[in-house]
Structures are given as structure tokens and as C-alpha cells.
Amino acid sequence: MEENKNMTKVLVVEDNPFNMELVLEILDGMGFGATGAVNGAEAIKNVEKDVYDLVLMDIELPGMDGVAISKIIRSRPQYKNVPMIALTAYAMKGDKERFLAAGFDDYISKPLDVPDFMKRMEKYRK
């Protein structure tokens, strides 16, 4: 399959199959090139073999949490300026600020508000 060089490539790190399918379907429908990873090890393997334009990171993951994984990814030179978005069910007062302080560029709470999610993804389109 010929890949469009102008397509925004997104890595979605999410262990819930329903959420993964929903996010990948939305991004695909919007014309993004989305790849899924179900845990930190898979996410790290993906960033070692490809460069993404955007990373959507679940926080509650098996093994290593999304904050730790994002720090590992961010430590790679080619990911220093790649936007990383916390995609999480943590939606209590202060959670957004906590994830932004941990190095994420944005925060989206689950369950997803699909129209809002799509609108917010538009600003990351290449």
C-alpha cells in the first residue's frame, strides 16, 4: 500500500480493545494514518521502527503506565517535539494539570466525546 507522505501518522497506545477500535476508526475516517499499540513495550517497539507525528497515550496500561512510557519515547531525539496527548479515564479535578505537568501536550478524557475528539485532532493534521 502506497503511503501518503502528507498523511499525519498517529500512534495510539490503548489496552482496551473497544477504545482502541473507536479511536483507530475515527482517525482512519479523518484520513490520519493510525497505528495501535496495546502496551508500553509495543509502543516503544513502534517508535523505534517508525516516526509518528502524534502520540495518543492511555495512562492506565498493563506493566508500565502511560506517563513512564511517554518519558521513554520523549527521550528519543526524533520525538523531542512530537505532540503527546494523554487519553485517559482520569477525569477528576486536577488530573488534566497533573498530566500536562508530566510532559503531555494535551489531555482528552474518556469516554470520548467523538465530535470534540475529532475537532481537537484537526489541529494536529499535517
Give the pLDDT of residue 4: 65
List Cα–Cα distances, 52 to 40, 68, 94, 96, 113, in angstroms. Answer: 15, 18, 29, 23, 24
Residue 2 has pLDDT above 50, yes or no: no
Q: Which domain holds residue 72?
A: 9-92+104-120
58 belongs to a structural domain = yes
Instruction: Quote the Cα angle for 49-52-54, to 5°.
Output: 150
Provide the number of structural domains found in the chain: 1
Specify the CATH number for the domain of residue 23. 3.40.50.2300
pLDDT at 126 over 60: yes
End-to-end CA distance of the chain: 20
Calculate mean pLDDT across residues 81-98: 95
Beta bridge partners of 9: 33
pLDDT digits (tens, 9 = 90+) for 74-87: 999 999 999 999 99
pTM of the entire predicted model: 0.94
Query: Has residue 50 been placed in a domain?
Result: yes
Q: What is the pLDDT confidence band of residue 50, given thresholds at 50, 70 and 90?
A: very high
